[in-house]
Amino acid sequence: MPASEEICRLSATELIAGIEAGSFSPAESIEAWAGAMESDDLNAFLWKGVEGGAEQGSGHLSGLPVAIKDIFCTSGIPTTAGSRILEGYKPPYSATAVERLTEAGAGLLGKTNMDEFAMGSSNENSAYGGVSNPWDRTRVPGGSSGGSAAAVAGGLAPCALGTDTGGSIRQPAALCGIVGLKPTYGAISRFGMIAFASSLDQCGPLTRTVADAALLLEVMQGQDQRDSTSVGLEAPIELPSSTDLDGVRFGVPAELVGGDVGIEVGVREVFEQTLSRIEELGGEVAEVTLPHAAHGISAYYVLAPAEASSNLARYDGVRYGLRVEADDLVSMYERTRSEGFGPEVKRRIMLGTYALSSGYYDAYYAQAQKVRTRIAEDFTAAFQGVDFVVTPTSPTVAFPLGARTQDPLSMYLSDFCTVPMSLAGIPAISIPAGLAAPPEGGPELPVGFQIAAPAFGEQDLLEAAHALEMSIGFQRLDQREGEGA
């Protein structure tokens, strides 16, 4: 019987295969991962506990524990969205994505730390303290799904759920050296996923391998009557098996990859090496143009805060969550929201409210929507000539804790390469492509390679990512530590 340490080096698909082969039981898998979670020294988890997943034959994911970002409602289990305003809140229902995993036999493995209400790129905006990057504990894991990414990369969970509004799955996956998939908007139900920006938020997996991402996507995707924007995928997702890229065309947009967009030297080198690897596998690399993509960050930071200002109006101290008593109702609202929300959430509420206010709506919100439409049209045009669009996932490797907390613009630019895909609603995946030294010196850190596909092109996207992943042979942190590296 394999030891707990050996079980915890397996990917999700390897875990399922081991259980099916009788190498170990679902209960032994759950027990091993529960022990790993308890060793958390990254502040990756906000709630530690295990629910289900240990019963033999309860579903094809029996024995697979999944860490859940604390933005997903979980029945009877604390759900805070990383905010003091929801401290101690226990929802009476679970999110559809969580339900579908547990119905397939998966276990719930803790709730992971995150930027408050998913607003951030470093996980330093959590009301419960920042998360450390397992590759270097003095650096950020990325955000907002930083706890999920750190848990998977740090060997505390085999896979995790995250949410991606402007890059919050892909960017932390890149900084932590794992796989992160943002599906097409509408592929997975948003019911029970606490809203940040409803027209952008999407659930997705953070995993050790591309095959693991496919495994979770297939279980979670599908239409849900409780979410009018969910449409699901046309065909079931199969585990990817491609080993080459013969005849596949990859487009490189100068607007996101050009020499003047702030991509670190080391990141650019890994990106170019990956392009060469694509050609070695039989793929073709061509230039494409996305004329409006460079305006993505500007449009996003009007649209997302505008939706947030509306969505977060419900946190008023009346129905649930924090209530700070006062002499009258208006004062209670003000004190509750003042003490319950952190600085970044307040900043975005104010930005969004301003953008929607009388006299400024047309100048800001309406213009940003027009830019969003143009970006979507740019991608549609680009996909007429190529199968995929590729960029570095993040312009930089993981940066030091505290380095950007006083410079919001610098922090926002962490999502420069990921935001356009979110605005267009198309699927994109980040896979680890190599290592690069940070510009200030120090040990090498992971670099992510982003592949984007046309809407609902998840199967083709996973096949291409799998072929590239197999060729790169990136050694994850848990693999390095297992060899005593």
Any residues with CB less than 8 A from the CB of 173 and at least 6 apart, and which? 142, 149, 179, 180, 206, 393, 430, 432, 448
Domain boundary residue, one of 354, 373, 392: 373
Please tell me the pTM assigned to this model: 0.96
Residue 250 and residue 323 in one domain: no
Q: Which of 11, 69, 394, 414 is catalytic?
A: 69
Residue 221 and residue 299 in one domain: no
Residue 134 and residue 245 in one domain: yes
Query: What is the four-CA torsion angle of 310, 324, 72, 8, rounded to 10 degrees?
Result: 140
Residue 97 and residue 136 in one domain: yes
Residue 263 and residue 301 in one domain: no
CATH code of 170's domain: 3.90.1300.10
Report the sign of the C-alpha dihedral through residues 7, 148, 416, 73, in that order. positive
Catalytic-residue membership of 48: no
Contact 220, 68 (CB under 8 A): no
Catalytic-residue membership of 168: yes
Instruction: Name the residue with tokens 């390095």.
Output: 480
Domain boundary residue, one of 352, 373, 394: 373
pLDDT at 478: 87
Tell me the pLDDT of the chain (485 aa) as tens digits.
467 889 999 999 999 999 999 999 999 999 999 999 999 999 999 999 999 988 888 899 999 999 999 999 999 999 999 999 999 999 999 999 999 999 999 999 999 999 999 999 999 999 999 999 999 999 999 999 999 999 999 999 999 999 999 999 999 999 999 999 999 999 999 999 999 999 999 999 999 999 999 999 999 999 999 999 999 999 999 999 999 999 999 999 999 998 778 899 999 999 999 999 999 999 999 999 999 999 999 999 999 999 999 999 999 999 888 999 999 999 999 999 999 999 999 999 999 999 998 888 999 999 999 999 999 999 999 999 999 999 999 999 999 999 999 998 899 999 999 999 999 999 999 999 999 999 988 899 999 999 999 999 999 999 999 999 999 999 999 888 766 54
Contact 451, 390 (CB under 8 A): yes
Domain boundary residue, one of 373, 395, 411: 373
pLDDT at 484: 53
For residue 215, give the nearest of 187, 185, 236, 232 by alpha carbon: 236
Residue 415 and residue 358 in one domain: no
Q: Which of 11, 144, 230, 414 is catalytic?
A: 144
Residue 27 and residue 59 in one domain: yes
Residue 94 and residue 235 in one domain: yes
DSSP assignment of 18-68 equals HHHTTSS-HHHHHHHHHHHHHT--S--EEEEEEES--STTS-TTTT-EEEE
For residue 192, give the nearest of 86, 93, 102 by alpha carbon: 93
Peptide bond into 228 cis (omega under 30): no
Q: Which of 126, 168, 189, 394 is catalytic?
A: 168
The number of distinct structural domains making up the chain is 2
β-sheet with 107-112: strand ranges across = 45-51, 107-112, 65-69, 159-164, 202-207, 179-182, 428-436, 445-452, 388-392, 249-253, 284-288
Residue 202 and residue 229 in one domain: yes
Domain span at residue 118 reads 4-291+376-482
Residue 219 and residue 266 in one domain: yes
Residue 328 and residue 411 in one domain: no
3-state secondary structure 226-238: CECCCCCCCCCCC
Residue 135 and residue 254 in one domain: yes
Contact 392, 458 (CB under 8 A): no
Angle between helices 210-220 and 458-472 (to 10 degrees): 160
